[in-house]
């Protein structure tokens, strides 16, 4: 019998909830004003390596919380999550993109330190996501890129990181929210292929 597909992500009995809000005028000994809200209860799921999964639903149902829990960035969760291991195995792209100040090459290659990724690869990634106008300023250009770039440019820069790092597992939280409708399909296709 042929082996099954490689597991890219394995989730067993994952429960995710919101924190219980506290009344700021009460001491910690009193119970919270409201109990925490359960977003997911005992989710079990296997996703094969190479699969693409879309989480869709209205705002506030827990899509971002689930992605954060999968990447270990949401403390209000319990269960077992097995992700790919190794260098560049996991990439989490939050809805709000962090872009550090400094050289453009550092802003694009973040969180990898300067000098680890070749300039040609950074330039190629910026072209792939349509940031030629930013690249024209040069990789040595220093500024506060978080302030200098528009929301759409920051989203594209984050997608350039996806192209550079080539992770085995990527969790993208609203990656196209600030990208014009006409560019979305072509841009995401270029980044994922």
Mean pLDDT of 44-68: 87
Query: pLDDT at position 157, please?
Result: 96
> Which range is most confident: 8-17, 77-86, 128-137?
128-137
**Least confident window among 83-87, 128-132, 135-139, 184-188:** 83-87
By the 8 A CB rule, do 155 and 179 touch?
yes
Query: pLDDT at position 1, please?
Result: 45
By the 8 A CB rule, do 43 and 10 touch?
no
How far is 153 from 146, CA to CA, in rounded Å? Answer: 10
Query: pLDDT at position 2, please?
Result: 45
How far is 115 from 118, CA to CA, in rounded Å? Answer: 7
Is 116's pLDDT higher than 90?
A: yes
Give me the helix-helix angle, 151-165 and 181-192, nearest 10°.
20
Query: pLDDT at position 18, please?
Result: 87
- What percentage of the chain exceeds 70 in pLDDT? 87
DSSP SS3 for 110: coil
By the 8 A CB rule, do 165 and 188 touch?
no
Q: Read off the pTM.
A: 0.77
Residue 122 tokens read as 């950074």
């Amino acid at each position: 019998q042929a082996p099954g597909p490689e597991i890219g992500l394995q989730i067993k009995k994952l429960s995710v909830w919101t924190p219980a809000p506290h009344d700021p005028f009460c001491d910690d000994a009193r119970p919270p004003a409201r109990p925490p809200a359960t977003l997911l209860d005992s989710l079990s799921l296997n996703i094969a390596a190479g699969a693409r999964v879309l989480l869709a639903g209205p705002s506030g149902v827990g899509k971002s919380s689930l992605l954060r829990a999968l990447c270990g960035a949401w403390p209000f969760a319990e269960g077992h999550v097995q992700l790919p291991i190794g260098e560049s195995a996991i990439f989490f792209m939050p809805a709000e993109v962090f872009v550090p100040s400094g050289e453009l090459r550092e802003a694009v290659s973040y969180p990898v330190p300067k000098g680890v990724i070749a300039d040609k690869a950074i330039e190629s990634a910026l072209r792939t996501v349509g940031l030629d106008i930013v690249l024209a300023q040069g990789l040595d250009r220093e500024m506060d890129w978080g302030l200098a770039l528009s929301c759409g440019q920051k989203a594209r820069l984050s997608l350039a990181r996806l192209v550079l790092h080539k992770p085995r597992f990527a969790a993208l939280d609203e990656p196209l929210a600030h990208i014009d409708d006409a560019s979305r399909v072509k841009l995401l296709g270029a980044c994922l292929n």
